[in-house]
Amino acid sequence: MPLYREKHLQHISQQFQIYGHILHAELCKIGHINETYTATYDQGGVLVRYIHQKINQHVFRQPDAVMENVMRVTTHIRNRLLANGARQPTRRALIVVPTRDGRSYYVDDAGDYWRTFVFVERVQSFEAVQNPQQAYEAGRAFGEFQALLADLPGERLHETIPDFHNTQKRFKALKEAIAADHANRLAGARKEVEFALAQEPWIGTLLDAHARGEIPERITHNDTKFNNVMLDWETGRALCVVDLDTVMPGLIHYDFGDMVRTTTSPTMEDEKDLSKVQMQMPMFEALARGYVEATREFLTPAERKYLAFAGKLITYTIGIRFLTDHLNGDTYFRVHRPNHNLDRCRTQFKLVESIAAQEAAMQAYVDSLV
């Protein structure tokens, strides 16, 4: 870490209610949005780790609203776990470390918002699912997350990114990016653009169902990538769901659909060899079983009937977001190589095709679950 950055992070560390002295910090490269550091402290001779994170204000325009949501959600989940007598509650819900003056975040001289979490130890995450048991754990983890928040009291949560999964608005943004072609990249993405535009007839399905009152609004995570589930080192059981910035009102299909996207194919979301990209039915069955088991008490029949479709829709939605960002010059998602967002887009679109070919069988399996 550059010396100037290390000194700044030392200053940040002193703003939070952490006993001990920071020894060193490492930049965490997983994740597209926020700047995250794993920091190690000496606390009376014991090494303890925390997460320091700078919120990306280009993505989250109201960091205070983000943190208000995070505090409400983590506090409620922890209280529910304690009331249920859950084991190891401090490993099953993120803990926000307050600042010296009791706030949930610190604003530095540059106007950047920083927050700190207790590091969840003895867990691991994976960029891609490795077996059906992991897919089951993902479904169970995010299903339990929704179930624990089903009775969250108080006002409606803030929409930290309005219309985040609104496919119709994402489609409109794509068309604007195509028309503008700011980065002169349209010529190299013609095939992907043609595929994206051809899907227009079905992209409003979930929003239309919600508008009719067929499916309700709930509290959802909205970023249910498999790497946002922390698995216990020893047992492989899902312990904790992380990355809560997009927890807000939504449809349960947003969460389930993104789980299908990130857990049912054996590849990472930027796989360049598209021959490897395929929705695997055993993975889907395990995912659906874990999710339905965890949500059985509140999931309605109407919500169930769109679960397989949600996988296709959300995978497509993420794909056009990657394509839009590529055409706009990579202004939203972090990229690590030329055409990175285009590679991500191609992977999503290949998966859309695979899901579409198996959608009927997927939904039949969901319907069979009792």
CATH number assigned to the domain comprising residue 274? 3.90.1200.10
Are 8 and 151 part of one and the same domain?
no
pLDDT band at 18 (very low <50, low <70, confident <90, very high): very high
Q: Could you tell me which residue, 3 or 172, shows the higher pLDDT?
A: 172
Among candidate residues 213, 217, 214, 240, the one with its CA nearest the CA of residue 229: 240
Count of residues in the chain: 370
Beta-sheet pairing, 96-97 with 46-54: unpaired
- Whether 45 is in a domain gets the answer yes
DSSP-derived secondary structure letter, 16: B
Are 364 and 281 part of one and the same domain?
yes
- Whether 68 is in a domain gets the answer no
Are 281 and 175 part of one and the same domain?
yes
Are 273 and 193 part of one and the same domain?
yes
Residues paired with 21 in a beta bridge: 42
pLDDT of residue 242 exceeding 80, the answer is yes
- Whether 345 is in a domain gets the answer yes
- Whether 101 is in a domain gets the answer yes
pLDDT band at 59 (very low <50, low <70, confident <90, very high): confident
Dihedral sign for Cα 163, 325, 313, 130, please: negative
Residue 40 is part of which domain span?
3-60+95-121
AA letter at 187: A
Are 167 and 29 part of one and the same domain?
no
Are 107 and 174 part of one and the same domain?
no
Are 185 and 305 part of one and the same domain?
yes
Residues paired with 227 in a beta bridge: none
Among candidate residues 31, 228, 221, 246, the one with its CA nearest the CA of residue 129: 228
- Whether 78 is in a domain gets the answer no
- Whether 145 is in a domain gets the answer yes
Are 154 and 272 part of one and the same domain?
yes
Are 231 and 361 part of one and the same domain?
yes
**Overall domain count for the chain:** 2
Are 116 and 216 part of one and the same domain?
no
The CATH number assigned to the domain holding 104 equals: 3.30.200
pLDDT of residue 282 exceeding 70, the answer is yes
Can you give the pLDDT at residue 273?
Answer: 97
As a whole number of angstroms, the distance between CA 370 and CA 367 comes to 8
Are 103 and 202 part of one and the same domain?
no
Helix (H) or strand (E) segment spanning residue 360: helix 340-368
Are 311 and 183 part of one and the same domain?
yes
Please check whether residue 100 is in contact with residue 130, taking contact to mean a CB–CB distance below 8 angstroms.
Answer: no
Counting Cα atoms < 13 Å in the Cβ hemisphere of 94 gives 26
Please write the tens of the pLDDT for every residue from 86-135. 999 999 999 999 999 999 999 999 999 999 999 999 999 988 889 999 99
